[in-house]
Structure 1
């Protein structure tokens, strides 16, 4: 299974729906990533793909400072699961991989 590409994410949180973009790629055979949202770009840490289960960690500062842990299941070009920040309730996460345009670039 491959998760490389650009994913449009949506999270249902206690403060409302939040959207973000995550990009996953391989560097020297290691899965890495970056997330963009709320005016900031953050690296993804501990990115692990185990079968169809994808997990990663990220720290954000907007809308509030949080350390998030994501745990999602990938099904083709869709993903669904949760993100958790410490003692706060888990938030539902869903996402869709952007289609590649001619030339191999994402929209």
Structure 2
């Protein structure tokens, strides 16, 4: 099963649970997309696919400029991973594929 699709995600941030929709568009061993939530949408950069594992970066502007680094594993319709947010440490992320 492809890791491509849209996932309803929750990231456990210092500001509470952040809900978002992660869009994964796979092209070979790379991927593009976005993570859209209450603070707007962040474009995925440097997206890589290794089997069912995704890695990526996002440049956050609001509420402060920061580079976010994500890694996640897709298992069927479930995505589980983490987002590293500089000095704020690592935040857990989970989600399910949208039908």
Q: TM-score range by the shorter chain?
A: 0.7 to 0.9
SS of the aligned residue for 1:87 comes to helix
Residue number in structure 2 paired with 1:81: 81
On the 8 A contact 1:4/1:24 being kept in 2, the answer is yes
Q: Tell me the C-alpha RMSD between the 2 structures.
A: 1.7
- Taking structure 2 as the reference length, the TM-score comes to 0.86
In structure 1, distance between residues paired with 2:97 and 2:62: 24
4+ residue runs over 6 A deviation? none
- For structure 1, the residue ranges without an aligned partner over 5 or more in a row are 100-107
Residue number in structure 2 paired with 1:36: 36
Instruction: Judge which range, 61-70 or 7-16, deviates more.
Output: 61-70
1:27-76 deviation line (CA, Å, top 9, x unaligned): 5x552111211242221011111122111111122343321111111101
In structure 1, distance between residues paired with 2:71 and 2:8: 16
Query: Which of the two has greater strand per residue?
Result: 2
Residue number in structure 2 paired with 1:49: 49
- For structure 2, the residue ranges without an aligned partner over 5 or more in a row are none
- Taking structure 1 as the reference length, the TM-score comes to 0.80
Kindly name which structure, 1 or 2, has the bigger radius of gyration based on alpha carbons: 1
Instruction: Judge which range, 57-66 or 3-12, deviates more.
Output: 57-66
Residue number in structure 1 paired with 2:10: 10
